Each structure stands twice: as structure tokens, then as C-alpha cells.
């Protein structure tokens, strides 16, 4: 069951503000490259273009955080990816242009491993504990092992958390 405070999904608020449930999981691989998080970055770019920017709760990490880490891994700038997304006429054209922009050796396994392990250091564990405490669910620290899992729980893909408050069994689907 999805709790709806407003008919538009982008108007649903969590502890950090608006939650964009329509964004794909960071664990979804890009179909043409196999890179995790790339479909999410593309979706964020499209959302920003369509809506004149990102909601405040997403601005801090738009073209930063995982977006920038991914681009850094590939040796490109987030603005270059944004330009291709915003000027491509189809997914097929975008995929072709991204493959032209990115290096020949994407080092997919290296990036994907890095993404799923981000936050597993001692310092990362402190970051995760702080984030979960701010979300009001410090008891979930034993379940949430990496930064990508924080996105998953915040956006309702890991059960047991209701970003709108109230019982976890009423969390958004």
C-alpha cells in the first residue's frame, strides 16, 4: 500500500524531504554497459530537465555523490552525461553516444563492486548509522550494510521503513 499525501509521487515527503519513488534502484544495471547506478543517474537527469531541477532533498547529490563517483570512474564529467541525455532522441541513440563518450574498458566489475561496498568501512559505518538515526530507524543499522541500501530503504524498496512516519507496514510500495 502506498501512502499518498498528494496525488503526485514527487510530492510525497520523507525525513529528508521529497522522495522520488519513480527513480530506479542504484542496483539496476544499465542495459548497454552493465554499470550499476547509471540508469538512476539518467533518470535523475531526465527528471531535472522535465521539472526544471531536482527537489531540494535530491539537489545535494545530483551530479555529486554516486553520480560523480560513477563519472570519475569513467573519466568523464557529469555535465557531459547530462548533455547527452538531454540531447538524445531515443534510448538507443543515448546508449550509442554514451558508449562513444565512455572509455573502451568500462571496468564494470570494479565499479559495481565499489558501488555495493561503499559505506562498508569503519567511517562508512558511522555515516550509515548517522543517516539511519536521522531517518528515525537506528535499529536498522544491522540490516543496512552500504550507502546504496540507504537509498533503497528511503525509497521503499527495502521493507520495514515508512518515510512518512507511522507503522512500517504502511510504508510506500
What is the band of 47 on the pLDDT scale with cuts at 50, 70, 90? Answer: very high
What is the band of 117 on the pLDDT scale with cuts at 50, 70, 90? Answer: very high
- Average the pLDDT over 108-137 and give the result: 94
> What is the pTM assigned to this prediction?
0.85
pLDDT, one tens digit per residue, over 50-86 is: 999 999 889 989 999 999 999 999 999 999 999 999 9
Sign for the CA dihedral angle at 75, 84, 154, 19 comes to positive
pLDDT at site 16: 58
- Cα–Cα distance for residue pair 148/23, rounded to 1 Å: 13
What is the band of 165 on the pLDDT scale with cuts at 50, 70, 90? Answer: low
Q: Please tell me the total number of residues recorded for the chain in this structure.
A: 173
CA atoms within 13 A on the CB side of 153: 24
Give long-range contacts, CB 8 A cutoff, 24+ apart: 103-106.
103/74, 103/75, 106/33, 106/34, 106/35, 106/74
Amino acid at each position: 500500500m502506498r501512502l499518498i499525501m498528494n496525488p503526485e509521487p514527487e510530492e510525497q515527503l520523507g525525513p529528508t524531504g521529497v522522495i522520488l519513488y519513480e527513480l530506479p534502484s542504484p542496483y539496476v544495471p544499465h542495459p548497454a554497459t552493465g554499470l550499476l547506478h547509471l540508469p538512476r543517474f539518467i533518470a535523475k537527469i531526465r527528471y531535472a530537465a522535465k521539472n526544471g531541477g531536482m527537489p531540494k532533498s535530491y539537489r545535494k547529490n545530483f551530479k555529486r555523490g554516486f553520480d560523480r563517483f560513477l563519472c570519475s570512474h569513467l573519466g568523464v564529467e557529469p555535465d557531459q552525461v547530462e548533455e547527452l541525455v538531454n540531447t538524445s532522441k531515443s534510448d538507443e541513440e543515448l546508449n550509442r553516444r554514451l558508449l562513444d563518450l565512455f572509455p573502451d574498458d568500462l571496468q564494470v566489475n570494479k565499479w559495481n563492486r565499489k558501488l555495493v561496498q561503499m559505506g562498508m568501512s569503519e567511517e562508512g559505518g558511522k555515516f550509515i548509522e548517522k543517516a539511519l538515526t536521522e531517518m528515525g530507524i537506528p535499529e536498522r543499522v544491522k540490516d543496512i550494510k552500504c550507502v546504496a541500501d540507504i537509498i533503497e530503504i528511503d525509497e521503499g524498496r527495502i521493507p520495514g521503513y515508512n518515510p512518512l512516519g507511522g507503522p512500517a507496514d504502511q510504508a510506500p510500495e
